[in-house]
Every structure is written in structure tokens, then in C-alpha cells.
Chain A
């Protein structure tokens, strides 16, 4: 009978799941990993087992990946764990089976379907992260605090934070992930940290601050005047800046399209 290991939805949780499944010695074909909380139909003829996130076993797996495969493989696994893909945990497991077998060459072996799956998840995450480095919008609140709200598909907020920490080291800022209700906080001239944050009241505060920000209006007017009417091309615009990013951007507060 197949055993499905339910791991917690975090890098640590998934790596703990990998550890438990691997050391169960049931055979790779007889185990499956799944992330807890994902709305998914349960399988028949399976035994479900929950795995608690355990820093010690996660660290063991991380160390093994770095030493026996490569640090690049670890980066890839870490990123995939942040993916939106529902099967990410199992895909990481399948990737590691090959990885431990083949070694550092694994990351370029795109002809292997297991590797390609990981590659695809990473590409999606990297693309979204890159777009968001441009599309994040800060609103100035009292006390020079800059606050931004994003709604990414993948859990990119931790990948985004180093970029802004380097860029705006002297500023206090917050990036809040609306879908996962967590935020990165960066106090001026200090390191950033991750925080779970559920509070509806500061969202209304954010909205009010956004209405009062005069530079928002200036930017809206700049965007409008810099566009060339004779070349209008909404399809091109949409392919570069998909609609799903726009609700979080002040320049589209009037509606999702420029008309």
C-alpha cells in the first residue's frame, strides 16, 4: 500500500517530509509527498501520515543536498518549495532521487522529466520575482514608513526581500503578501525579517495613505503623458504586465486598463 506523507507548507516542512519518506525504507515507488492544506481529493488505497516540521532532519537533508549534489541543486530545491505547484513536495522528492544518484550534473539534465519539472517551477518563480521587483509599489505612511501589498502566485516574498534590502537599506519598509498573509519587515539600517501578519485595520490605513500620497498622482500623470497615442497596443502591454498584477498598483486605481 502507498503511503502519502503530508508535510507542512514550508521549506523546512517539505525537507522534513523528504527525510521521513526516505528513511521509512518503504521504497521510492511506495511513498508520495503532499503538502498539507492543499485542497485536493484524497486517494483511495493509501495510508496518510502527517509529518511534523523538524529543523534537525530538514538540516540533514539540506546538508546532504549541498554536499552530495551541489549548492546549486539546493537553491533549486529551496525555490521549488516556494512554488505554487500543488505537487511540489513530491516533485522535489523525485528530483532528489535522481540527484543523489547522478550528482552535480543533474541541474543541467533537462531531458529528464523529473529535472524539467523542477526547472519549470523555478522558472515560474524567477519570472514572477523579477516582474515584482519592478511592480511592487510602496505607499508612504506616517513616519516615513513605506508599505507595499502584493498578491503573488508563488511565495516569492522572501526572494524579493534581499533586492529591496540592498536597494533601500536606509528606509523602513514592509512588503505584505496578501495571499499568504505574511510580510517582510525591514527597519531602516537593520536586517529584514519575515512575519505572519493578519490585521484588517492596517489595510484600511494603507488605502487612506495611498489616497493622500501626492506622488501617486504625479506618477499617474507621468505614465499617461509618456505614452505615444499613435502606437497604442494593449495586447503588448498585457503580455508584459499581466492584469493580475494591476490591482496592487496605484496607476491602475481607476480600472485595470489604460483607455
Chain B
């Protein structure tokens, strides 16, 4: 192992941000905190993106590792102890300076501090705690801080850190215990879930405390999040979604992030992925995640044991709607909010606007377009004052073939059913296997 002692801050930043980049969470949302006169920093509930890197991901926090030295040897991780990469470490002072100076120039929304495990979980957690304490108390920084809880660290340290941070996260990494055992031998499921439970309890207790004493310090006010790697182990989408759902329900998580597996190490236990990282699959998982968090869907509605993977050509909501045509078309001027939310092409904002606007008179398709409904998808599923926009057959094949272009449909036919058939003009395309086989 190559430990570099005398590195410039720039070199350290390069190494330690490069090492942190595979962590997806870069959100700065979930807490609204006004600034304090004379000090630096506030937070906005919606979060603010400050820049976008070449891969199109937002840069909102200064995402760094405290150190990339690590005692664990997780197969998928660039910082695994058996890797020969330059190792270095920040000092608390350097992290504070970088955060403050970047923040003043409006480069970032706050700090995201993670770390490799140096010596022991307790030792590392304490280093993180000391850094946050310095930043909050000596530098009077009031901006957003997202920090990792180190699995296996002393609960007291985690609690103390939680009172300084806005969001805490512990990465689940792999959805099943077997996967974790295989790829991350140093970690175990219970080691990860114990602090997660602790933080959840802390947040709930703190909520009651805040109700009684307004001045009580807040504990992890922006909630906790976690991350799962997609495509490193053979779990299917259904398993991923069930795990995510359980995390939202049992652990009160704010967010579950999905990270398409990028092979950075060569290992016999890791998949090869010649087509690049599974980005489409990651995208579908995020779409479904949104459906669960904001649209009132359950994982079991979107996927099942027999259809364990998402359709690659249709988004999960269209896919669901096509399998439930008995519920459509929906009358826009009468349907309740939750029914509207389930119509493809309508989102939370447009559904709310529809509810507000139709109190003042009926809506027609023109008005829906203005309101922000994506008519391209919605016209197959809605009526306005009893009329559809065009004469549409409420028929799965018909709607499906319109929702996805002919070209894409061909690909889908081939990949999903395996029964390839030449498509000719004047031929109604009948896809009997549409419901049975989803996706790739």
C-alpha cells in the first residue's frame, strides 16, 4: 500500500473525491433552515444543484472521503485494502477550509463526508465527528451536511454525529445477505441494519422532543438514506423493489439510491458487463422508486414473482396501466387525486393543478396541455367531459404499439417473447405474450 504523506491539498482532493464518486447520494434536500445573522449557510427544502459533472450527475455537495485507507476488502470497491492505489487522508482543518471556501463562492451546497475504515470503525467515526464538530462550532457553518454512519461504530458516536449532521446514510450496498457475504466479507447485514435502526429511533424520538421544546437540537433533520448497487449480484428488480419498499416502511428512509455497477476491480466474483454499466435498469428502478414514494404504488403492483424485471421499453407506470386497462379511461373532470396520479403522463404537479383548476369549470384537452399533462401518453387513458381526444381502442396491443414506436416495438418483441415474426403492412400486430413476459 502506498501511503502518501506530503501531498498538496489539490492532489488529496483529487484522490479523495475520485474515491468518493461511486456514492450516488448528492442531494441537499429535506430540510429548510434559515440562515443565522452574521454566519454562513442555510438550507433549502428542495435542495440546490450547483453544477453538473460530465456524466450528467448533479454536484451539490463537496463529496469526499476523509481517508481512502481501509481495512476492509470489499470486492466491488476501488478502495479495497488489496488494491494498489495511492492512499491519503485529509485533516479536519483541511476539510473545514475547503467546505467554507467552496461554500462562500457558491460552488457547493454543503459537505458530504464519507470515509474508508481507518484502524477501526470507532476510530473512523470519531474522526468524522471531530471534523463536523469543528465545522459547526468553530467555523459556524450552517449549510447542509451529509455524513456516513460507519457500520459497527459505537452508537454513542453515531448519536453525537447525528446531532451535527442534516442527513446520515449507511449503504446497504447489496440487497441480499448472501450477496453481501460474497462481495463484502468484512461487512454483515446486521452490522448495517443496527445503526440504521438506531438512527430511525433517534429521528422519531427527536420529533417528539421538538414538539415539546422548540429549541431542542435536531437529530438528522433531513432523514437517512441508503444505496444499493444494481447489477453486481444476480438479484432481480422485484427483489430490489421489495427491499426498497421494506426500507421505506420499516426504517422510515427518506431515499434509497440505486447505483449501476461500474466494474473498477477485476474479480472472479464480479460480473463482466461488456455493455457498460446497467444504466437503463437503474433508470427503471428510479422510476419505480418515484412511483412508490409519490404516486402511492406498491412494489407488488409493479412487479411480481412471475414478472420479476421491468419492461425495458415502457416505463413502469405505462406498463402497469397497460396491464390494468379495466381501470381506464379516467374522467379528468371527476376522478379523485389518487386516480389521476395513476394515469400515465400525469405527475404530482399536474394532478394538483387539475384539481385546483377544475373547481372553476370543466377542463378540455387544450387546458390539460397547458397544465402540463403529457398528452402523448395520457390520451389513451383519459376522457374530458366524456370524450376522448381521438377515437382510441381500449386494447392493450393497440395502445402499446402507439406508446412505443414501431422500431422500438420490434426490438421489444424480439427480446421479450422470443417469437420473432416479420411485421408486414396491413397486419394487426398481435402480441399475446405482452403480459406474461416483461423486459429482458
Closest 6 CB pairs of A and B: A236-B56, A227-B53, A108-B356, A111-B367, A258-B54, A233-B56
Chain B residues whose C-beta falls within 8 Å of the C-beta of A136 in the assembled complex = 106
Q: Could you say which of A105, A168, A228, A229 has the most chain B C-beta atoms within 10 Å of its C-beta?
A: A228
Nearest-neighbour CB distance to chain A for B12, whole angstroms, equals 10
A93→B276 CA distance, assembly (Å)? 55
Tell me the nearest residue of chain A to B19, going by C-beta. Answer: A225
Instruction: Contact check, A230 vs B277: say whether CB atoms are below 8 A apart.
Output: yes
Nearest B-chain residue to A252, judged by Cβ: B51
B424: chain A residues within 8 A (beta carbon): none
Q: Give the segment of B41-49, B296-304, B391-399, B432-440 that binds chain A.
A: B41-49
Asked whether A237 and B52 contact (CB < 8 A) given A108-B353, A108-B357, A110-B353, the answer is yes
- Neighbour of B42 across the interface among A137, A166, A171, A227, CB < 8 A: A166
Query: Does chain A have a CB within 8 A of B361?
Result: yes
Is B214 an interface position by the 8 A CB rule?
no
Chain B 83-107: CB-based contact to A (< 8 A → 1; otherwise 0): 0000000000000001001101111
Complex-state Cα separation, A38 to B134, whole angstroms: 53
For residue A140, CB closer than 8 A to chain B, the reply is yes
Q: Mark A223-248, 1 if CB is under 8 A from B, else 0.
A: 11111111111111100110000000
Find out whether the CB atom of B370 lies under 8 angstroms from the CB atom of A110: yes
Known: A111-B357, A221-B13, A258-B54. 19 other contacts (CB 8 A): A130-B48, A133-B48, A140-B105, A168-B104, A170-B39, A215-B107, A218-B10, A222-B13, A223-B59, A227-B21, A227-B54, A227-B55, A231-B277, A231-B279, A232-B54, A233-B54, A235-B56, A237-B52, A241-B52
* A167-B51 contact given A109-B360, A228-B22, CB 8 Å threshold: no
How many chain B residues touch A (CB < 8 A): the figure is: 60
The answer to whether A251 touches B51 (Cβ under 8 A) is: yes
Is the Cβ of A218 less than 8 Å from the Cβ of B9?
Answer: yes
Contacts A105-B359, A108-B356, A226-B63: A249 and B51 contacting too (C-beta < 8 A)?
yes
Q: A175 CB to closest chain B CB, in angstroms?
A: 10
**Contact between A240 and B359, CB atoms less than 8 A apart:** no
A241→B360 CA distance, assembly (Å): 37
Q: How far apart are A73's CB and chain B's nearest CB, in angstroms?
A: 14
Q: Does residue A189 face the partner (Cβ distance < 8 Å to B)?
A: yes
- A130, A137, A224, A228: the one contacting B106 at CB < 8 Å is A137
1/0 contact string of B336-368 vs chain A (CB within 8 Å): 000000000000000001001101110110010
Q: Are A116 and B55 in contact (CB under 8 A)?
A: no
Which residues of chain B from 1 to 58 have any CB-CB distance to chain A below 8 Å in the complex? 9-10, 13-15, 17-18, 20-22, 34-42, 44, 46, 48-58
Q: Say whether A194 faces chain B, with CB atoms less than 8 Å apart.
A: no
Partner of B371 from the list A110, A221, A251 (CB cut-off 8 Å) is A110
Taking the closest CB of chain A, its distance from the CB of B117, in whole angstroms, is 22
Contact status A167-B41, CB under 8 Å: yes
* B360 contacts across to A, CB distance below 8 A: 102, 105, 108-109, 111
Chain A residues closer than 8 Å to B35, beta-carbon distance: 166-169
Closest to B100 in A: A215
Contact in complex: B34, A226 (CB < 8 Å): no
- Count class of interface residues, chain A: 35 or more
B125 within 8 A of A: no
| Assembled-state Cα–Cα distance A189/B37 (Å) | 7
B60 at the A interface (CB under 8 A): yes
Is B62 in contact with chain A by the CB < 8 A criterion?
yes
Residues B13 and A134 in contact, CB atoms below 8 Å apart: no
* 18 A-B contact pairs sorted by A residue (CB < 8 Å): A133-B48, A135-B51, A139-B105, A146-B104, A170-B38, A170-B39, A216-B105, A223-B51, A226-B20, A226-B53, A227-B54, A227-B55, A231-B55, A231-B57, A231-B262, A234-B54, A240-B49, A249-B51
Contacting pair B102 A219 (CB below 8 A): yes
In the bound complex, what is the Cα–Cα distance between A235 and B364 (angstroms)? 34
A111-B370, A237-B56 as given contacts; A226 in contact with B18, CB under 8 Å: yes
CB-CB < 8 A to A111: which residues of B? Answer: 357, 360-361, 363-364, 367, 370
Chain A residues closer than 8 Å to B63, beta-carbon distance: 226
Q: Which residues of B contact A249 (CB under 8 A)?
A: 51
Flag if B56 contacts A138 (CB, 8 Å). Answer: no
Check A225/B17 contact, CB under 8 A, given A134-B50, A170-B40: yes
Known contacts A105-B359, A218-B9, A222-B13, A240 near B52 by CB under 8 Å: yes
Shortest Cβ distance from residue B385 to the other chain A in the assembled complex, whole angstroms = 12
Chain B proximity mask over A119-148: 1 for CB below 8 Å, otherwise 0: 100000000001001111111100000101
Q: How far is the CA of A111 from the CA of B363 in the complex (A)?
A: 7
Say whether, besides A108-B353, A166-B42, A230-B277, A215 and B102 are in contact (CB < 8 Å). yes
